[in-house]
Each structure stands twice: as C-alpha cells, then as structure tokens.
Amino acid sequence: MIATPEIYLTPDEYLLLEEHSDIKHEYIDGYVYAMAGALDPHITIAGNLFALLRNHVRGSGCRVYITDMKARIESLNRYYYPDVMVTCDERDQETPGYKRFPCLIVEVLSNSTEAFDRGDKFADYQTLSSLKEYVLINTKRQRVECFRRNDEGLWVLQSYTAEDKSFQLYSINFEVTIAELYEDVIYTTP
C-alpha cells in the first residue's frame, strides 16, 4: 500500500471515490492508501483459487469474490480488498460494493504486503465474527498457511506444502491439490 496525502474521508466519501477511481484504495480509519499492482504469480494463484472455489460453491448460496470486492470491517472503520473472499451470509447481498460477513478471506502474499497481511490486516480481520478462516498463500514456493478460528475463539495455524499434496478449507468444506492451486505459476526470484 502507498499512503496518499493526509486528507480525511468519511466512509461514504471513500466509497464515492472508489466508484470513480482508476486506482484501488484501501481505507483505514478515514485515510486511503493506494494499492500497488501485482505480479504474474500473484494473479495466477488468485485466479486459480477463484475458479476452483467458484465451481465448488455453485448453487450453495455462497458467493466468491476476487480482488475488486471490498471487505468492510465496521467496528474498526476499515475497507480492505482481499485477493479472494467467500461469504455465505444473505445480508451481504444488500451491499453490492462491499461485504461485511465473509467466512473465508485469502491473501496472496507479495513482498510489499506480506508484513501487513500477516500483522495488522490479520488482526483487523479477526474482529469479523463471521470469519472462520484466513489463508495466506506464498508466491515464492508452494506453501499455504490456513488460520482457523477454533471453538474457543483462538486462531490455529495449519500449513500445507507440496509434500502434503492437497489442502482443506473447512469453512466451505473444500479440498484441492496444491498442484491445482499453483497451476501455471512462473516463480520469480525474490
């Protein structure tokens, strides 16, 4: 994310800005931050996962969103653009520009966003009571980190690598091979 000049915007002003902007911005407590573009591995992984998830949830009442749909965290006055997001909550049909009740959020890691995705953004996402899983996908090697909220409300990590052959997303009863997730990915040197 790239900081923009310190001009405070209300949520409504931000949403209006986003409707007319060629650049996506995330919104944190009144301030907007421009989003950087992504590289081929990032886009390929997000696209692969979206296609796999879309086929999986078809007809279930759940919806899958990729890249351009905002996640709204009302309690913290935030809007983020997850790489992939799934919601099964009917209330999310009321808001065409953002979703408030995701059960699954996926971030594909990049050098410029990894620390934020692992740190403050994850902490913010944890305040969403509907969120059951938060997934981080590595673009440098085949590694998927799945954080799941357990019955006690604690976030438990399960990591998957190529040796595991597949990974699971319990929130939507989904399993796929690591090979399918990383299909056509051309790894770049760090």
- Average pLDDT over every residue of 30-36: 86
Query: 134 with 109: CB under 8 angstroms?
Result: no
2: in domain: yes
Backbone angles phi, psi at 118, to 5 degrees: -80, -25
Q: Is 102 found in the same domain as 79?
A: yes
**Do residues 86 and 176 share a domain?**
yes
Q: Are residues 55 and 148 in the same domain?
A: yes
pLDDT digits (tens, 9 = 90+) for 109-127: 998 889 999 999 999 999 9
Residues 2 and 17 in one domain: yes
Q: Are residues 5 and 81 in the same domain?
A: no
> Is 190 contained in some domain?
no
Does residue 91 form part of some domain?
yes
Residue 1 has pLDDT above 50, yes or no: no
Tell me which of 29-33, 94-98, 116-120, 160-164 is least confident: 29-33
d(CA 37, CA 24): 10
What confidence tens digit (pLDDT) does each residue in 46-74 have?
999 999 999 999 999 999 999 899 999 99
Q: How many CB atoms lie within 10 A of CB 107?
A: 26
Q: What is the mean pLDDT of the chain?
A: 93
Is pTM beyond 0.85? Reply is yes
- The pLDDT of residue 23: 85
SS3 assignment, position 31: strand
In a 3-state reduction of DSSP, which class is residue 13?
A: helix
Same domain, 94 and 173: yes
Say yes or no to pLDDT of 34 above 90.
no
pLDDT of residue 84: 98
User: Concatenated DSSP letters for 15-63?
Assistant: HHHHHH-SS-EEEETTEEEEPPP--HHHHHHHHHHHHHHHHHHTTTT-E
Question: Is the CB of residue 44 less than 8 Å from the CB of residue 185?
Answer: yes
pLDDT for residue 190 = 55
The answer on 72 and 59 residing in a single domain is yes
Residues 78 and 29 grouped into a single domain: no
Q: Is residue 174 part of a domain?
A: yes
Q: Please tell me whether residues 13 and 44 are part of one structural domain.
A: no
pLDDT band at 99; cut points 50, 70, 90: very high
> Which candidate, 74, 174, 69, places its Cα nearest to that of 130?
74
Give residue 2's domain range. 1-35
Which CATH number is 119's domain given? 3.90.1570.10
Residue 56 half-sphere exposure toward CB, CA atoms < 13 A: 18
* 102 touches 86 (CB < 8 A): yes
Counting the structural domains of the chain, the total is 2
Q: For residues 90 and 108, give the distance between their C-alpha atoms in angstroms, rounded to a whole number.
A: 26
- Start-end of H helices in 58-177: 114-118, 120-125
Tell me, yes or no, whether 189 lies in a domain: no
- Would you say how long the chain is, in residues? 190
User: Cα separation of 51 and 128, whole Å?
Assistant: 25
